[in-house]
Amino acid sequence: MPETERIAILDNDGTMWVEKPMYVQLFFVMDRLKQMAEADPALLDQPHFKAATKGDLTYFFGLDPHAGGDFKELMKTVFDSHAGMSQDDFMLMAKEFLETAKHPRFGMLYKDLTYKPMVELAHYLDDNGFKVFLASGGGMSFLRTVSEEIYNIPKERVIGSNISFETRMTDEGPVIFRKKGLVDPLDDGPGKPVNIELHIGRKPILAAGNSDGDLHMLWLARKSGQRSLSLLLRHDDAKHEYAYDEGSEKTLQMAKERGWIVISMKDDWKKVF
Amino acid sequence: MPETERIAILDNDGTMWVEKPMYVQLFFVMDRLKQMAEADPALLDQPHFKAATKGDLTYFFGLDPHAGGDFKELMKTVFDSHAGMSQDDFMLMAKEFLETAKHPRFGMLYKDLTYKPMVELAHYLDDNGFKVFLASGGGMSFLRTVSEEIYNIPKERVIGSNISFETRMTDEGPVIFRKKGLVDPLDDGPGKPVNIELHIGRKPILAAGNSDGDLHMLWLARKSGQRSLSLLLRHDDAKHEYAYDEGSEKTLQMAKERGWIVISMKDDWKKVF
């Protein structure tokens, strides 16, 4: 297999690191919404500011597409909370969160809750001439703040959903700001092959995911015209992590029909974190 | 300098290959418009189809922003001519053009009209641990068909202006199609830092361009916080290539004021192609 064709793409939330009790980035957003409402109490009229201020996780659980929430609405809440600031400021804020915030159940930093066998896979692929990309349904920039540290995956190989940017000219030169507005498509479902084309221009020969948002990407790998591997991670280890199939039903069914490999966290892994 | 920071970004048209008598991609588009008008003569009511069919280069020269044309209008003409087809079909068509079409003055394939000293620079940087990217005002996909062959720059390191894509599900899986509609921003002027953030997430420490469309990118390199190099290529060799400053006036002025390095094709290069 020529090196140019050795493209591997890994979903992040639920495939490379923990996504329960809710997406890591949502905890970050809650902090931000709370800060914003402290500065401007009029914002408390809006349900997500109110929920963040009260620490009402249930409200945010309900936004999760795995639990039947609307992904676009969710991402609007996520991205709007950081619109208007410079990209450099955003990156500092995200990095600080990931260096300090801890998971409510495991008491560890979120960035340490990566799946050991998946990180080993990424390193193994890297050692064998693969270019390993992340394709996250979550925010591209958020993940880029730690991708090099936790996975050895460089920033330019992190694909994700996006707010739109703009360049403002200042006396000190161009500065990137975060504008309101989701970039279409979000990096989920049919948006994943689109963003793979935009960022890579090649089909992956290995794709790994864990939910229906990865279905299109997993199928895309089978269309590379090369020998390929589609891996679906199943969360079935409530003892060491979580057990849930919600939001993955279609892809589990498709994997069965098409012979994609299903990884059982319970049966196939010695260690989760 | 750590390897992660060694990012170099090179503009393509007029910096890495010839852009006169007009952008290479415009010759490709003329072929396509002609074909479309042959299939549907009603299209000849529109000036660009008429001009393409008559081989009226003057009409297309006028679209060039270097000659005062509107870049957005130009790109709409370029991209709309390939909307509606699959991305795979587009790539084959672009590749075929670049493997056969010849430059009207030099009689060589366009893809062979790359600037030898700039290609040497790209290889030198590559040999020294740099990640070398192309940032083209022109179409990203068009350039990706030959970037590996002519520059040894992999597809995922080609940034450019874009049509929007969509995934259509078929019985054989997901297929990417080219939709009507320019992706905002085009990869020109203030759009270049935006797309650099999207595709790389780091500021370049070396940037090279040749026109006012590169001004923001050249300035961005000076803001990397590292030792950096901004290179402006000046077309002043009418004998071996072309001599023109139109569309580069602001950047030439800025280079003078800020001490960016101006490369004279006439004085500094032994060989152009």
Instruction: Look at residue B61 in the predicted model and tell me its pLDDT.
Output: 87
Among candidates B4, B162, B216 on the partner chain, residue whose Cβ is nearest the Cβ of A198: B162
Chain A residue whose CA is closest to B168: A190
CA A166 to mean position of chain CA atoms: 23
A88 touches chain B (CB under 8 A): no
B182 touches chain A (CB under 8 A): no
Instruction: Specify the higher pLDDT residue, A216 or A63.
Output: A216
Cα separation, B205 vs B229, whole angstroms:
6
Q: Is A83 helix (H, G, I), strand (E, B) or coil?
A: coil
Q: Where are the domains of chain A?
A: 3-268
What are residue A229's DSSP bridge partners?
A: A206
CB-based contact A174 B87, cutoff 8 Å: no
Chain B residue whose CA is closest to A147: B201
CATH code of the region B3-268: 3.40.50.1000
Chain A residue whose CA is closest to B199: A156
Cα separation, A231 vs A16, whole angstroms:
12
Structure-block tokens of residue B110? 């366009």
Q: Tens-digit pLDDT profile for chain B (273 aa)?
A: 889 999 999 999 999 999 999 999 999 999 999 999 999 999 999 999 999 999 999 999 888 887 788 888 889 989 999 999 999 999 999 999 999 999 999 999 999 999 999 999 999 999 999 999 999 999 999 999 999 999 999 999 999 999 999 999 999 899 999 999 899 999 999 999 999 999 999 999 999 999 999 999 999 999 999 999 999 999 999 999 999 999 999 999 999 999 999 999 999 999 999
A174 touches chain B (CB under 8 A): yes
Phi-psi region of A17 (alpha: psi -120 to 50; beta: other; left: phi over 0): beta
What are residue B136's DSSP bridge partners?
A: B160
Mean pLDDT of chain A: 96
Instruction: Look at residue A270 in the predicted model and tell me its pLDDT.
Output: 97
User: Tell me: the pLDDT tens digits for B198-227?
Assistant: 999 999 999 999 999 999 999 999 999 999
H/E/C letters for each residue in B160-199?
EECEEEEEEEECCEEEEEEEEEECCCCCCCCHHHHHHHHH
User: Tell me: the pLDDT tens digits for A32-60?
Assistant: 999 999 999 999 999 999 999 999 999 99
Cα separation, B130 vs A116, whole angstroms:
30
**Is the interface score ipTM higher than 0.90?**
yes
CB contacts of B192 in chain A (<8 Å) are: 167
Q: From the CA of B93, how many Å to the nearest CA of chain A? A: 15
Q: What is the DSSP string of B1-51?
A: --GGG-EEEE--BTTTB---SS-HHHHHHHHHHHHHHHH-GGGGGSHHHHH
Question: For chains A and B, what is the number of CB pairs under 8 angstroms?
Answer: 96
Among candidates B157, B185, B216 on the partner chain, residue whose Cβ is nearest the Cβ of A174: B216
Instruction: Look at residue B65 in the predicted model and tell me its pLDDT.
Output: 82
Cα separation, B12 vs B9, whole angstroms:
10
